[in-house]
Amino acid sequence: MSQSATSAMVDANGVPTPPNVALAGVPPDRFFKYWLIAPAILLLLLVGIFPLIYSLVVSFQQITMMEVDTSFAGLVNYAQLFKDKRLWEALLHTGIITVIALPLELVLGLLMAQLFLERMPGRQIFVSLLVLPTVISPIVAGATWRLMFDNRYGPINQIIGWFAGEPTTLLWTVSPNLVYPAIFICEVWQWTPFMFLILLAALSNVDKSLTEAAEIDGAGYWRTFFKIVLPAIWPVMAIAILIRGLDLVRIFDVIWALTSGGPGTKTETISIYTYVQGFQQFETSYTAAIAFLVIAILTVIVVWAIRRMGLAK
């Protein structure tokens, strides 16, 4: 459809553009700029606006696996949100994972970037190898660590056994006490290199003369870091935190592969809970209410963060 619109515009504008018309000024073909964005915007509405409106509509109905009741049900589903203990636990789990994994990845990534910042022959080889976890599919990462963590045939327990001096059979993905560490290890393994790469590039771009001047003036390492280096890399660091933070809030794949939310619902995140409600329990209307809640909360956070950071400029 957009294709035919395209050729129509070209025909309509077959007349050569008069010379000396400033490109950024008032364009001679007024609708050109809208034809350019139209197809993309239409598709974005499909994922941006449609789910929001549709969730809202369905969430006011009472569609379940048993019956399809599309009459207006008021706020029944939203009232249920507040009573749903499992939902709040899922939000809590998501919060815990985000609050712990994000600083871990950031600090470890920063330390690694510092390590590789100074001249080091063969650095590129290390960097190329360190990148691998980040580009792997999260589902494959989860599957890999599932194999790694296996209590009998996995290498993790074997290695711990060497240090402990006796055979170890820790049930990493099943034991309530170990399942979160297992998730953190997998998360940190996959995404610390992401932080590392970005921060290494940011640190490399810091003006050396500034840090050297500070050192000549007698500022110590930490003072130089907090007063000069950190402000210089902050714009990039903020975006890295935003990208990773939002990925963690939405986390699904890794946990699905590693624990599927178990044991029980111990590691169920908001994304997994929504999936279970919608595609295993078939609570259509209630899931729509959850989806709407999640979209609404995240939209506010995201737009605020983007404006706050001046990302759009």
Complex with other proteins: residue 213 or 300, whichever CB lies closer: 300
CB of 74 to other proteins, least distance (A): 20
Q: Which two tokens stand for residue 136?
A: 């792997």
Stretch binding other proteins (CB under 8 A), from 72-80, 136-144, 170-178, 223-231? 136-144
Token match 């946990």: residue? 255
Q: Which residues pair with 63 in a beta bridge?
A: 68
Binding other proteins (rule: CB under 8 A), the pick from 88, 146, 174, 262 is: 146
Among the listed residues 73, 76, 104, 148, the single contact to other proteins using CB under 8 A: 148
Rank residues 192 and 224 by Cβ distance to other proteins and give the closer one.
192
Residues 1-20 that bind other proteins (CB under 8 A): 2, 6, 9-10, 13-14, 16-17, 19-20
Give the residue with the Cβ less far from other proteins, 85 or 152: 152
Tell me which residues in 75-114 interact with other proteins (CB under 8 A). Answer: 112
- The tokens of 268 are what? 């169920």
Segment 247-276, which members bind other proteins (CB under 8 A)? 249-250, 252-253, 256-257, 270-271, 274-275
| Whole-angstrom distance, CA of residue 298 vs CA of residue 246 | 9
Sign of torsion, CA 288 293 299 305?
A: negative
- In the complex, what is the shortest distance from the CB of residue 78 to other proteins, in angstroms, rounded to a whole number? 15
Told to check if 145 binds other proteins by CB under 8 A, we report yes
CA distance 148 to 170: 12
Residues 41-80 that bind other proteins (CB under 8 A): 41, 43-44, 46-48, 50-51, 54-55, 58
Q: What is the dihedral of CA 78, 82, 83, 86, to 10 degrees?
A: 100
Bridge-based pairing state of the strands 68-69 and 62-63: antiparallel
Q: For residues 21 and 27, what is the distance between their CA atoms, to the nearest angstrom? A: 8
Contacting other proteins (CB under 8 A), which of 73, 130, 178, 219?
A: 130
**Span of 76-84, 95-103, 208-216, 282-290 interacting with other proteins by CB under 8 A:** 282-290
Estimate to the nearest angstrom the gap between the alpha carbon of 230 and the chain centroid: 23
In the range 185-244, which residues lie near other proteins by CB under 8 A? 189, 192-194, 197-198, 200-202, 205, 235-236, 239-240, 243
SS3 258: helix
- The residue count of the chain comes to 313
Q: How far apart are CA 224 and CA 207, in angstroms?
A: 12
How many residues of this chain bind other proteins (CB under 8 A)?
111
Q: How far is the CB of 100 from other proteins (least distance, A)?
A: 18
Cβ distance to other proteins smaller for residue 213 or 297: 297
| Core vs surface per residue 151-162: b (16+ CB within 10 A) or e | eeebebbeeeee
Query: Measured between alpha carbons, how far apart are the two ends of the chain, in Å?
Result: 32
